[in-house]
Structure 1
């Protein structure tokens, strides 16, 4: 190994070595916070995204209903496509409704 790598390894070992009281290095873990003057614009963009997905969800359910209605007579595969699309639309809407909670669960 070259000298630079050895110095880096020594520095990391020194940083991670237990202190006199036996504790290791405390790695900071601050709570997330928005940069100054950026929180509100980001909230607006997120709310626009949620609104857009909700509009798409309503359109998706209407399209699925239309496929099922049109495919009722002699086009059973078209109706089946509409019926199989309903769970996907509902799954997408459910994900939008719970997105913030899911992220909060992982990030804390």
Structure 2
């Protein structure tokens, strides 16, 4: 299967079909560049607020579940990596998009 796929891709490259794809540079839509910056700023602020609230809620669950409600404490502790993971994805989003779609 892989050999067949490799042979197919090789034949396309040798035929020159993939060389005809032009390089396209992104051009902002007139009037939307300022709005998109504002929307991204709001999204970043919302992500920061959600991260702080998420960590505070996880900490509160751990505090409240300390005595006689250990499952609540465990749920709070398990939520911390999810909050940090979400913050990490939000923080590297522009980098990932920039690598996937270079100028």
In the superposition, the TM-score normalised over structure 1's length comes to 0.75
Instruction: Provide structure 1 residue ranges, at least 5 long, that are not aligned to the other structure.
Output: 1-21
Alignment partners' CA distance in 1, 2:95 and 2:37: 15
Alignment partners' CA distance in 1, 2:56 and 2:16: 61
Max Rg structure: 1
Residue in structure 1 matched with residue 83 of structure 2 by the alignment: 89
Residue in structure 2 matched with residue 56 of structure 1 by the alignment: 50
Structure with the greater relative contact order (CA < 8 A, sep ≥ 6): 1 or 2?
2
Identify if the C-alpha distance between structure 1 residues 82 and 23 changes in structure 2 by more than 3 Å, giving closer, same or farther.
Answer: closer
The count of corresponding residues between Structure 1 and Structure 2 is 88
Point out 4+ residue stretches in structure 1 off by more than 4 angstroms: 22-25
Alignment partners' CA distance in 1, 2:73 and 2:95: 35
| More helix as a share of residues | 2
C-alpha deviation, 1:35, in angstroms? 1.0
Alignment partners' CA distance in 1, 2:98 and 2:79: 29
Does the alignment pair 1:75 with 2:69? Answer: yes
In the superposition, the TM-score normalised over structure 2's length comes to 0.78
